[in-house]
Amino acid sequence: MAMLAACATATGFAAVPTDKPFAVFKAGGAVIECSREGSFILRRGGETLITGAQVIVACPEWKEAVGQLKGKPLPGYPKKTGDGIVFKFSLTEPSKKVEWLLEQTVSQDGDGVRFRYEVAPVADTECAEVSLFIDLPFKIWRGRRGQLWPQGSFVFPVSQPPRRHFYSAVARKVILGDGGKKLTLAFDTPLTCTVQDLREFGTDGYQVYPMIRNEGRVAAGQTAAFEFRLIPADKEDYKMGEENYAMDRKLAVGTVHLPGGTVGARIGDLYEIEVDVAGSYKTPFDPDQIRVDGHFRLPSGKETVVPAFFTRDFEMRSKDGREWCEPLPQTGWRVRFAPVEPGAHEVYVTARDRSGGARSVSVKFNAVPSESHGYIRVSNRDRRYFEFDDSTPYFAVGENIATYNTDFRDYDSWMGKLGKAGANYGRIWVSSGNFGFEWGPPGTYRMQPAWELDHVIRQAERNGIYIKLCLESWRYFEGDGSFYRSSDIHPYWKRNGGPCDTEMEVFTNEEARRMFRNRLRYVVARWGYSTHILAWEFWNEINCVKGFEKDTPSVVKWTGEMGRYLHKTDPWRHMVVNSLGSFVLNDDFWRLPEMDFAQVHGYWHPTLDESREAGKDMAGMVPAWIDKISGYGKPALFAEYGLVNETWGPSPLADKDTEGVHLHNGMWSAIMTGSCGTAMLWWWDTSVDRYNLYPRFASIARFVEGIPWTTAGFKRISLNASAPEARAMALAGNDKGKVLALAWVQNHRHTWWNVVHGEPIPPLPLLTVTVPGLPDGGYQVERWDTWKGASAGTERLRAKDGKLAIEIRDLDRDVAFKIRGE
């Protein structure tokens, strides 16, 4: 799914200072003029490099906003102080009339000028964001380079880009231009920054805006603050990405450091070993230059090789209520292991560079039993479903949680709420702006995103969430909007030192394939230990990569090759899958033996033929497409769905479905279609979290608990409903020799489309549903309230002539049943 930027910038926010400045500062051969409104311009060498700046307070969903230039100065302000000036303003939201107070200080600071902003509402309110918009003239900056350091670089587009937000990243510095006179904004704390093109609004210019506060509720007096130094002629040489980790020493493997001594490893838990390794290499992220492995002898005598990985440590820092990751000096090699057998283990570490090989001495540790179910596999007892190593069935209940909004700790909240609801599945992207560790010059891995993903995987483990980890999502080398943030730093693009001229060469060029295999090895080494990795997913909607349609066989071949490599490299043998775009079917992908299950994406789209009408009824659309991927002898999953607008952004109609009818109907219908999990909604933040739809997951989690998915031999059966307005779906099998059937009956009129459009949905006063093909005799029929997620009582009914009749009264929405033979 290609998600649009979360907020759109309103027009009319270019900051135009008054002709006569209130204060003037000089630094680095430049002049910075501040107006009485707090805006400023910067001139250097006869050029105006910054044409204005102002703070913007945006209401939820950017429906309206107010800027600093519309503010009312407080009495006595602005005023000059000993080394600068102080501004105080009152800003009033246009509709809610909530007042915000803004304090801005400007002062001389060596070779630069320091700006500080503090913003707070006087009453409880909500906002989309509070940002500082800095205006840059088109004629000066077009075609020139910039950096949101240290994450990446960009070029100000000469031609109008397809989306105005053409680059975004968390930055410590915004660096404009290159050479010895760069214009730099050096933040005291890292901030999310966006660069946008204003031609969409009829203005020849660009804006850089650091975000002071992200969307959400804000309490009265809750202050957001940030400050930066504006350096007009910065002579520093800023390198992208991480530090240089090259080493030129004699190959040696030293001490192997066991955590907590030799006792304490638990089955299924992380056991992280540190090891001292020296060698000769330019980058530790290329196993052809330096390869480090842990060799484990298990109590059973089996030997397992686990790749090691190089890493750097980080810690959280805070200032002015803002937190960020700070790199620590500690770097080194780690081996992550999760025992699968109790008893005595032995491990030694080997290393190999161009000079030869070396190994450590062997050390021993003990593993003790735990309550871990092990890793998730395709069940050998029923290939349509998943189960753990200990044969416990796993039925996926959850959603996509692909990317964070503010920072990686968004997952603390989302996973906590999912886990509390009983959900057990989430899909996360490793993309350029979301844990993308291979993003920059070839051979350079960014350690902060990897460290952040460590944190998120631990949160998944704590909350019972099993992650399908999607390892790539880009579509074009030059990027297709701020969400992919791939402008000018793509590691495979020849323009940036990579091996490929075109996107499709990533799948055919041997060096590019080697680079991707290296990435897979690192992924296995760092996160493969976790029992909470459900599967590795190669690519989000890989058919959207530019050129796919002209050479699909090469991508299929690449998928098979990478799947074989993962199955060989991953000692825990996690499942492997790929993904295709909405309503795209391709037998060649799902017939690959390396693909452990099949999946499909699909959305209600207002103009798309496949879903313009069908998507109005999620309980009809979802099963129809699950059927299309159910013939491969593998589990089938509807992996993305939801409501979108014409440009595949969030549909405004979803905001009218505040109870989540589209979510509910899509999930329940998937269960009764023989899927290996619920259908997985895409809009985890703008729908599920915003409207607290977590009870929709809780209802299903309670219903499916304890169902013997892998041994019941479920088959879909057709139910007969006495009213044409009813939809009835069911699975029938047996549990320990007794009939077990699951059924879901829906008032066909109760669709999200009818709900949001206020269409009448009359209850069905009396409905009889007949379950065919059951042996005559007694049955316990447990009725489930699917919206409350609780049993609504059990009744005893008898089947006669192979049919079991169930009466339902006043069906306004839907109801589910568990039917058990006596």
| 147 and 174 assigned to the same domain | yes
What Å distances lie between residue 14 and 9, 57, 230, 587, 681, CA to CA?
Answer: 11, 14, 19, 52, 38
Mean pLDDT across 592-620: 96
| 137 and 191 assigned to the same domain | yes
Determine the pLDDT at residue 12: 41
CB 672 within 8 Å of CB 730: yes
Q: Is the pLDDT of residue 494 over 60?
A: yes
Torsion of CA 511, 517, 523, 528, to 10 degrees: -170
Residue where one domain finishes, among candidates 678, 708, 733:
678
Band of the pLDDT at 4, cuts 50, 70, 90? Answer: very low
Band of the pLDDT at 6, cuts 50, 70, 90? Answer: very low
Q: Is the pLDDT of residue 242 over 60?
A: no
Residue where one domain finishes, among candidates 234, 267, 283:
234
Q: Is the peptide bond before 78 cis (omega within 30 degrees of 0)?
A: yes
Q: Is the pLDDT of residue 14 over 60?
A: no
Cα(68)–Cα(3) distance, rounded to whole angstroms? 30
Q: Is the pLDDT of residue 486 over 70?
A: no
| 481 and 627 assigned to the same domain | yes
Determine the pLDDT at residue 9: 38
| 364 and 389 assigned to the same domain | no
Kindly tell me the burial class for residue 646, based on how many C-beta atoms sit within 10 Å of its own C-beta (0-12, 13-18, 19 or more). Answer: exposed
Tell me the CATH number at 765: 2.60.40
pLDDT tens-digit map of 189-234: 888 899 999 998 888 999 999 999 887 889 999 999 999 999 999 9
215 domain residue, yes or no: yes
Helix (H, G, I), strand (E, B) or coil at 413: helix
CB 449 within 8 Å of CB 435: yes
The pTM of this model reads 0.85
Determine the pLDDT at residue 805: 97
Determine the pLDDT at residue 192: 87
Band of the pLDDT at 727, cuts 50, 70, 90? Answer: very high
Cα(615)–Cα(609) distance, rounded to whole angstroms? 10
Task: Count how many Cα atoms sit within 13 Å of the Cα of residue 161 in the half-sphere of its side chain.
Answer: 24
Cα(693)–Cα(683) distance, rounded to whole angstroms? 11
Cα(232)–Cα(479) distance, rounded to whole angstroms? 29
For residue 671, give both structure tokens. Answer: 């269960």
5 domain residue, yes or no: no
Which domain does 726 fall in, by range? 720-821
Cα(121)–Cα(64) distance, rounded to whole angstroms? 16
- Give the DSSP letter of residue 160: P
| 383 and 357 assigned to the same domain | no
634 domain residue, yes or no: yes
Tell me the CATH number at 308: 2.60.40.10
For residue 303, give both structure tokens. Answer: 């030997």
| 342 and 389 assigned to the same domain | no
* Backbone Cα Rg of the chain: 29
| 401 and 448 assigned to the same domain | yes
pLDDT tens-digit map of 88-100: 999 998 878 899 9
Count of structural domains within the chain = 4
683 domain residue, yes or no: no
| 49 and 153 assigned to the same domain | yes
- Give the DSSP letter of residue 686: I
CB 416 within 8 Å of CB 216: no
Determine the pLDDT at residue 13: 55
Tell me the CATH number at 83: 2.70.98.30
Mean pLDDT across 181-186: 93
The identity of residue 775, as a single letter, is P
Determine the pLDDT at residue 163: 72
The identity of residue 612, as a single letter, is R
Q: Which residues contact 286 (CB under 8 A, 6 or more apart)?
A: 443, 518
Q: Is the pLDDT of residue 618 over 50?
A: yes
Mean pLDDT across 421-435: 93
Cα(237)–Cα(575) distance, rounded to whole angstroms? 44
Band of the pLDDT at 5, cuts 50, 70, 90? Answer: very low
738 domain residue, yes or no: yes
Percent pLDDT > 70 in the chain is 95
pLDDT tens-digit map of 156-179: 999 888 778 888 878 889 999 987
Least confident segment among 127-141, 286-300, 426-440, 733-747: 426-440
Determine the pLDDT at residue 477: 84
Determine the pLDDT at residue 241: 53
Helix (H, G, I), strand (E, B) or coil at 228: strand
Least confident segment among 93-97, 244-248, 562-566, 779-783: 93-97
| 227 and 252 assigned to the same domain | no
Mean pLDDT across 460-464: 97
Band of the pLDDT at 479, cuts 50, 70, 90? Answer: low
Q: Is the pLDDT of residue 15 over 70?
A: no
Q: Is the pLDDT of residue 633 over 80?
A: yes
Question: Which residues are paired to 153 by β-bridges?
Answer: 147
| 124 and 171 assigned to the same domain | yes
Q: Which residues contact 390 (CB under 8 A, 6 or more apart)?
A: 373, 374
Percent pLDDT > 90 in the chain is 80
| 461 and 380 assigned to the same domain | yes
- Give the DSSP letter of residue 445: -
| 227 and 320 assigned to the same domain | no
Q: Is the pLDDT of residue 488 over 60?
A: no
Q: Which residues contact 143 (CB under 8 A, 6 or more apart)?
A: 155, 156, 158
3 domain residue, yes or no: no
Residue where one domain finishes, among candidates 169, 199, 234:
234
Q: Is the pLDDT of residue 427 over 90?
A: yes
Cα(577)–Cα(223) distance, rounded to whole angstroms? 46
Cα(66)–Cα(93) distance, rounded to whole angstroms? 6
For residue 798, give both structure tokens. Answer: 């008898």
Determine the pLDDT at residue 179: 79
Give me the chain's average pLDDT, please.
Answer: 92
Least confident segment among 50-54, 108-112, 240-244, 359-363: 240-244
